[in-house]
Chain A
Amino acid sequence: MSSHYSDKFVYHEPGLQHQFDDMGQQEESVSIGMWFFLVQEIMFFGGLFTAYLVFRSKYPMAFAAGSNHLDAFWGGLNTLVLIVSSLTMALTVYYAQKGNRNMQVILIVLTMIFGATFLGVKAIEYTDKYNHGLIPVAGLNKKVKAEAGAEHGGAAEKPCWEVDHNAPPVEHPNPHGEFIWTDCSLAKMALDENILTASEKNQYLVRDENNKPVIDTNKFRDKVRIFFFLYFVMTGLHALHMIVGLGLMTWLLWSAFKYKYNGDYYMPVEMSGLYWHFVDIVWIFLFPLLYLLGRHFIHGG
C-alpha cells in the first residue's frame, strides 16, 4: 500500500505541502528559497550595475549630461511613492499575522495604487524621452518631419556647446526617429577646465583645422546614448519587476479577501513582501545613480 492512501487519515495543517513534515520546516524552506532568489536577482541587476560603473568611469561627462536631462522631480516622487508602498506592504504582513482581513485588503490595495502610480510616472518619463528623441534605439523615437519653411541651418552652424539652457526646448527634425543629442556644453566645460579623463579625450575630441582639440557632436552623442541605453535597460527591467510585483499583489488581494491568511499561515504575504522590498531597494540604488550623480556640474556650481 502506498503512503498516498494513509495520508488521507493523517491530520494536515492547512497549507502544508506533502513533502514537508510540519509548518516550521515549510516556512524555513520557503524563506530560504526566497532569499536565495533575491540573491539571484541581485546578481541579475549586478551585471547592469557593473556595465554602468564601467561606462560611467569612462565617460563621466556624457553620463552627467544624460543624467541632467532626467527629471529629478519625477524620480524623487517615485522614490517617495515606493518607500511608502514598502511601508504599506510591511503593514500588510503585520495584519496578515494578526489575521485582520479588512486591514490586509485595504493595505494591499494601497500598495497596488502606489505601485501603479510608480509605473504611471515611469510612463510619463518614457513618453518625454520618446518626444525628445532620447530612446537609444534608432527608429523608436517620435518621428519629426523636417519642416520645409523652418530654418535649422542657423542653429546647426553654432557649435554644440553654445546652448542656452533657459531657452524653450526646440523640436529638432528627426524623420527617422533616431537618437538625438545636440548639447555638449558639459564636455566643453570639462575640456576648458582640463578635467576630461584620458578615455574621454580619446573619445569625444577631434582636431580642428588648427590642430586644436574640439568636441565632436556625434562622438559625444554616442556616449550619451550609452547612458540612455543603460537608463532604459535598468529602469525597464525594474519596471518589469514592478509589474510582476503587481501580479503578486493581485493574487494576494484575492486570497486575503478569502480570509486565507492568519497567524498560522502567512508565508505568501511575507514572501511577496520580501520581493516588493527588494524591488524597492533596487530603485533606491537606481535613483541616485541615474538621476542625481553629476547634477552639481550644472545645478550646484
Chain B
Amino acid sequence: MFDKAVGRRSFLQYAGAGAAGIALVAAGCSKDRGYDNPTMNGATLDFKDDTGVLNYAYALEQLEAAFYIQVANSNTQFTGTNAAAKKAYFQDIQFHEIAHREFFKAALSTSAIGSLEVDFSSIDFSSEASVLATAMAFEDLGVAAYNGAGPRLKNGTFLLLAGKIVSVEARHAAYVRDMVSNGSFADLNSLTSLGANNSGGLDAALTPDKVLAVASKYIKTKINVINL
C-alpha cells in the first residue's frame, strides 16, 4: 500500500500529531484524488510537490481575505484617536489579502483548489476587540505558516514569491499587535506556541498540519492533507 518509505513515515508523523478537524487521507490512497469537485467533497492539499504548498498558501489567503472583507462589510466601529487610521489600514490589508488570494488563483490556474467556505461564527464583527484579536491570530498564524512551508518548496522562484508575501504578513502582524498592545509588534515570547524562539530572535514557524489544526476552526470545507 505504501510505495514509499518516506511517504509512510510522513503520514504516521502526521497522524500522531492528532490534528483535530482535518481529514486524513493515507498517502497510498492518492489514486482517489482529483476525481471529485473539491468544493463538494472538500479540498485536497497534496504536499508531494510545490503545487500542494502553493494551494496551502492559497487556502490561507482565502481565509484571510474573507475575514477582512467581512470586517469591511460589517462596518466595525474602530475607536480611539487613531480610529480613522485603523479603518484605513484594515482596508489596506483587505486589498493586500485579496491581491494575494487572486495571485495564487491565477498562478495555480487549473491546479487551484476550489473556493473554501468559511465559518466566522466565533467572531463578533461589531466588536473592535474581537476583530483585532482575530486579525492578530490570523496574521501571526500566516507568518508561521509561510515560514514553516518555505523550506518545503523545491522551486526557488516560488520560494521568493512566498518570501515577498510573508514579510508583508509580518508587517500586518506587527501593526495589528501594536493596535492591541503598543510595543508587542515582535513579542516572540508570546509566539512560542507557534514555534517562535525569543532567545534566538526567531519568529514563528509551523508545519502545515499544525497550522491547519488551528485554522480549521474557521473553515467549513473539509481539507484533505496528503503526502505531508
B partners with A: no
